[in-house]
Amino acid sequence: MAPPSLVANGGDIAVGKPPVTSRVSSVYSEVQNSRLDHPLALPSVFAKPFKVVDGPSSSAAGNPDEIAKLFPSLFGQPSAVLEPSETSDSGSALKIGVVLSGGQAPGGHNVISGMFDYLQERCKGSTLYGFKGGPAGIMKGKYVVLTPEFIYPYRNQIQKERAQSHWNTQNKFSPVSVLTKIILKKNEIAHEKTMGGFDMICSGRDKIETPEQFKQAEDTATKLDLDGLVVIGGDDSNTNACLLAEYFRSKNLKTRVIGCPKTIDGDLKCKEVPTSFGFDTACKIYAEQIGNVMIDARSTGKYYHFVRLMGRAASHITLECALQTHPNITLIGEEVASKKLTLKKVTDYIADVICKRADLGYNYGVILIPEGLIDFIPEVQQLISELNEILAHETVDESGLWKQKLVPQSLQLFELLPPAIQDQLMLERDPHGNVQVAKIETEKMLIQMVESELELRKQVGQYSRQFKGQSHFFGYEGRCGLPSNFDSSYCYALGYGAGALLQSGKTGLISSVGNLAAPVAEWTVGGTPLTSLMDVERRHGKFKPVIKKAMVELDGAPFKKFASKREEWALQNRYISPGPIQFTGPVADISNHTLLLELGVEA
């Protein structure tokens, strides 16, 4: 490990004491404390000497010719697999940087812990730099040198022989608020910590895009003499990681770049990367809430709960929550798009189920709605794209004259929408110029539209009950929960594996841990060429590489299982209440339906 004197300017030094921002004593919850003792297994390939072997060469997810042009150094490189070996290289010390990019996802800290432990155990004398605040930290050269003491409070499993001793001797005792006679073994901690979100080095949404920004990243890599950089992020961030890998390679820099699949949305995955981390925990947190709301709905007997779930464009989270809880209605954006449903059709579908349930004596229910739903409805897409155009180029006058710029069908739809939704559609765009779907209260919109529809049916005698909608949005509370045992282990393996890939000189790969339905010991470890996940999009007249979002596949096992059950769930009450995530006991290590169905383990 680099002694403090070697730490360059711009870096907070955190050796043997908490970082500046958290020097003031703080305490942990009892559950957080208990997580420090959670043992993390590693895939058994790490138990003995191993080597990194190459798989077959790769292509691209689409337009390989264009991808080859965009990534001349990297295109076609083989995947990498860790295999048992007779001997193991005793690795030389490495200087590695790590950055968290994009939205939060439970488990990010464990990726860093895994990397750190790999370097500590296999490449003695290595230094791990944590870039602060996302990719901006790379560009600005803002980082912290990660030490056992710094990382300790963020990991599930303390490496007692190392960190604990440092900690005890160099830090004051700050008692945990003691609620019971339980004596917590690890209550000698004075450090702001969490294990769910990204506040160890914080994340950021900046991108390294312009030639100047690439040069800044190069300067940082050169200044710190980086052997490698690990980018923990979603599809955009991993695309960026690949561009950086290509750039460094083209400049003959020694800095390798490895990606890690992070997103609660679950839309960054492929055969070799069966899931993104965070998805498991987030879905379980949402499903707990949904299960509770279901019991409440049935107990009270008078509300329809419309639950919108985070997840951006893809409906994976909504689908997984449906598989966990069996709601009466679940809207899947990809199906709505595929069937070209209109808002009216969606509304009618919900109203139909409500009427049928009324006939059976049920005046309550639970309905799941993906965050990105309205983006999937063709007529709404049309409206939004017209609005994007108008908002970019026109002044929007109070009197509403601007509406004349809409085509008649879009104007009609716009006027049909409740005023609050109209307002939300006119709100600011995200940095990419997209409607911020998270800000559109689709659940409230649907409640109002269903209410109107049921009112009409009442007038013609098709419905006679009183409809009461309750709206929910489950989002932020799922991004930063304590990671489930699955995510904890998965992240640790991803980070540990990333260390192995860097040590073996790999670049432009995404850390890939497979065979996830088996016990951790049997998991496979390797790396998949990022270029093999790429396609191109044409933007502003240029080809731009993108990792295609993995959307819900309507012929995939998770959707098919849902589709085979939904009619039953609609009319009968098959609610399941998953309860809170458990970290110990017989149910703690179960992963999620989507993953197991896709792996063919669950029927």
Burial class of residue 172, CB neighbours in 10 A (0-12, 13-18, 19+): exposed
* Least separation in angstroms between CB 425 and its own copies: 17
Which residue in 173, 245, 241, 250 sits closest to 207, CA to CA?
A: 241
Question: Which of 234, 164, 152 is closest to 195 using CA atoms?
Answer: 152
CA distance 153 to 388: 45
Show contacts with its own copies in window 154-193 (CB under 8 A). 177-180, 182, 184, 192
Say whether 310 counts as a known binding-site residue. yes
Q: Check residue 285 for interaction with its own copies (CB under 8 A).
A: yes
- Tell whether residue 357 is among the known ligand binding residues: no
Interface with its own copies (CB under 8 A), residue from 44, 292, 452, 515: 292
User: Which of 28, 131, 247, 414 touches its own copies by CB under 8 A?
Assistant: 28
Among 12, 30, 121, 348, binds its own copies (CB under 8 A): 30
> Which residue number, 419 or 541, has a Cβ lying nearer to its own copies?
419
State in angstroms the smallest separation of the CB of 94 from its own copies. 27
Binding to its own copies, residues 217-246 (CB under 8 A)? none
Q: How far is the CB of 193 from its own copies (least distance, A)?
A: 9
Residue 524 vs residues 225, 529, 531: alpha-carbon distances, Å: 31, 16, 21
Nearer to its own copies, 237 or 470 (CB): 470
Q: Kindly list the catalytic residues.
A: 265
- DSSP-assigned beta bridge partners for residue 183: none
Please answer whether residues 481 and 282 qualify as being in contact, where contact means their C-beta atoms are separated by less than 8 angstroms.
Answer: yes
Which string of x and - marks every residue 475-504 that binds its own copies (by CB under 8 A)? -xxxxxxx----------------------
Torsion angle of the four alpha carbons 70, 73, 78, 84, in this order, in degrees rounded to the nearest 10 = -140
Touching its own copies, residues 520-579 (CB under 8 A)? 572-579
Distance between CA atoms of residues 554 and 335, nearest Å: 7
**Which residues contact residue 584 at a Cβ distance below 8 angstroms, ignoring those fewer than 6 apart?**
none
302 is in an annotated binding site: yes
Min CB(233)–its own copies separation in Å: 14
**457 labeled part of a ligand binding site:** no
Q: Which residues contact 500 (CB under 8 A, 6 or more apart)?
A: 46, 50, 52, 82, 118, 122, 525
Q: Which residue in the block uniquely carries the two structure tokens 């904890």? A: 488
- Which of residues 424 and 507 has its CB atom nearest to its own copies in the complex? 424
Residue 303 assigned ligand-binding role: yes
What is the DSSP code (8-state) at residue 447?
H
DSSP letter assigned to residue 218? H
Q: Does 26 bind its own copies (CB under 8 A)?
A: yes
Please tell me whether residue 587 binds its own copies under the rule CB under 8 A.
yes
Judged by CB under 8 A, the residue of 7, 11, 17, 32 near its own copies is: 32
Q: Tell me if 278 is assigned to a ligand binding site.
A: no
* Least distance to its own copies, CB of residue 262, Å: 13
C-alpha dist (Å) from residue 86 to 82, 89, 124, 377:
13, 10, 21, 57
Spatial distance between the Cα atoms of 184 and 34, rounded to a whole number of angstroms = 8
Only one of the segments 72-80, 199-207, 399-407, 527-535 lies at the binding site for its own copies (rule: CB under 8 A); that segment is 199-207
Closest to 510 in 3D by CA, of 102, 231, 227, 307:
231
User: Which stretches does DSSP call E strand in 504-568?
Assistant: 509-514, 524-529, 534-539, 542-547
Tell me if 33 contacts its own copies by CB under 8 A: yes
* Selected binder of its own copies within 289, 315, 410, 524 (CB under 8 A): 289
Positions 75 through 134 that interact with its own copies (CB under 8 A): 104
Query: What are residue 429's DSSP bridge partners?
Result: 435
Q: Rule CB under 8 A: is residue 590 a binding residue for its own copies? A: yes
Q: Per the annotation, does 103 bind a ligand? A: yes
Stretch that binds its own copies, among 263-271, 296-304, 525-533, 537-545 (CB under 8 A): 296-304
Nearest residue (CB) to its own copies, 154 versus 247:
154
* Cα distance between residue 329 and residue 499, in whole Å: 44
Distant-in-sequence, close-in-space partners of 458: CB < 8 Å, separation ≥ 6: 464
| Least Cβ distance, residue 506 to its own copies (angstroms) | 29
The residue range among 165-173, 208-216, 282-290, 488-496 that interacts with its own copies, by the rule CB under 8 A, is 282-290
Tell which phi-psi region holds residue 423, choosing left (phi > 0), alpha (psi between -120 and 50) or beta.
alpha
Q: Is residue 312 annotated as involved in ligand binding?
A: yes
Residues 416-475, interacting with its own copies (CB under 8 A) = 420, 470, 472
Neighbouring CB atoms inside 10 A of 14's CB total: 22
For the chain, how many residues are written? Answer: 603
# residues near its own copies by CB under 8 A: 73
Q: Which of residues 137, 197, 372, 529 is near its own copies by CB under 8 A?
A: 197
Provide, rounded to whole angstroms, the least separation between the CB of residue 575 and its own copies: 8
